[in-house]
Amino acid sequence: MHLAARRTTVAGRHVLVVEGDIDLATVPRFLDALTALVNDAGGTVAVVDLDAAGAVDDTALGLLLGAAGRSRANGGDIAVVCTEARLRRRLADTGFDRAVNVVTSISAA
């Protein structure tokens, strides 16, 4: 499976852009990138952009929830960018969007 996790900064926000599938085969790479993002963002809102992600399994959602908790414990937060209708429905159906801010753009985070 292919997964690329690229870090960037947009308008002063730490952003992790995810491309490819986040599944059991790629979870370790995603976790490493997510942990570094939360650590570097400190007490600010970090953004995870899932617009180029393919599959996002339940393990990935759990990692995002854990990252949001760690970030909040340090005075920050996590926002997830997602514009793809199928994934947005999944985030709503699972209740993920009630626990983590899901937005349509980095600037909305």
Determine, yes or no, domain membership for 108.
no
The predicted model scores a pTM of 0.95
- Condensed to tens digits (0 to 9), the pLDDT of residues 62-107 reads 999 999 999 999 999 999 999 999 999 999 999 999 999 999 999 8
Helical (H) or strand (E) element with 99: helix 96-99
Number of compact structural domains in the chain: 1
Q: What percent of the chain has pLDDT over 90?
A: 91
Structural domain harbouring 8: 3-103
Determine, yes or no, domain membership for 109.
no
Q: pLDDT band at residue 1, thresholds of 50, 70 and 90?
A: low
CATH for 73:
3.30.750.24
Q: Is a pLDDT exceeding 70 seen at residue 30? A: yes
Determine, yes or no, domain membership for 81.
yes
